[in-house]
């Protein structure tokens, strides 16, 4: 898969992202279908329905916001094209804001079905995200940026946006 913006670019513009997001979306959809519609177990009643829906909407909005800032407001495309490590803005809070945004969004979608068993998809998606990133993008970035990326990994969380810690 070649999706380079310019000659000499060392990382693909999209990488494994679409596959990771598709995998998390499939896990979420399967969890909702199985637990809410097929097996009909773990379905919460009022007042939990309203609380789950409010929390779900908040997570969906938060996920879209994190994704939007990481994807469209961070100048990441130019950083990739110029082989420059992006560590400012939202990337000072989370190393993978686009994936994090999707993970948070899928958690919010899951809550819309107010089902306790479908909440298992949230940690399953976190495992998918973590394993996929460790085996692909983190290796590529360590190879490309070396100690700068290793230091960045120590300061900033992989998936959960959080204020950076200085070491």
pTM of the predicted structure, to 2 decimals: 0.90
For residue 4, the model assigns a pLDDT of 53
Say how many CA atoms lie within 13 Å of 13 toward its Cβ. 12
pLDDT at 67 over 90: yes
CA distance 70 to 64: 10
Q: For the segment 80-117, what is each residue's pLDDT rounded down to a tens digit?
A: 778 899 999 999 999 999 999 999 999 999 999 999 99
pLDDT at 167 over 60: no
For residue 75, the model assigns a pLDDT of 85
For residue 63, the model assigns a pLDDT of 98
Percentage of the chain beyond pLDDT 70 is: 90
Phi, then psi, of 76 in degrees rounded to 5: -65, -40
Q: Greatest CA span in the chain, whole angstroms?
A: 58
Which value, in Å, is the radius of gyration of the alpha carbons in the chain? 18
For residue 118, the model assigns a pLDDT of 95
pLDDT bracket for residue 9 (50, 70, 90): low
For residue 1, the model assigns a pLDDT of 43
pLDDT at 13 over 70: no
Residue 158 · residue 128 · CB < 8 Å: no
Q: For the segment 129-155, what is each residue's pLDDT rounded down to a tens digit?
A: 999 999 999 999 999 999 999 999 999
Q: For the segment 33-50, what is each residue's pLDDT rounded down to a tens digit?
A: 999 999 999 999 999 999
Average pLDDT of the chain is: 91
pLDDT at 52 over 90: yes
Using the structure block, give the residue that is written with the tokens 């789950």: 52
């Amino acid at each position: 898969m070649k999706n380079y913006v310019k000659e000499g670019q060392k990382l693909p513009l999209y990488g494994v992202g679409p596959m990771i997001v598709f995998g998390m979306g499939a896990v979420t959809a399967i969890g909702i279908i199985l637990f809410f519609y097929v097996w009909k177990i773990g379905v919460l009643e009022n007042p939990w329905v309203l609380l789950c829906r409010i929390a779900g909407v908040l997570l969906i909005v938060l996920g879209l916001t994190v994704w939007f800032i990481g994807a469209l407001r961070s100048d990441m495309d130019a950083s990739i094209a110029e082989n420059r490590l992006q560590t400012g803005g939202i990337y000072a809070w989370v190393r993978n804001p686009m994936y994090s945004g999707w993970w948070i969004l899928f958690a919010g979608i899951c809550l819309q079905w107010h089902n306790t068993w479908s909440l298992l998809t949230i940690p399953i998606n976190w495992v998918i995200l973590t394993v996929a990133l460790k085996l692909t993008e983190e290796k590529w970035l360590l190879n490309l940026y070396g100690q700068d990326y290793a230091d960045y990994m120590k300061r900033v969380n992989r998936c959960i946006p959080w204020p950076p810690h200085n070491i």
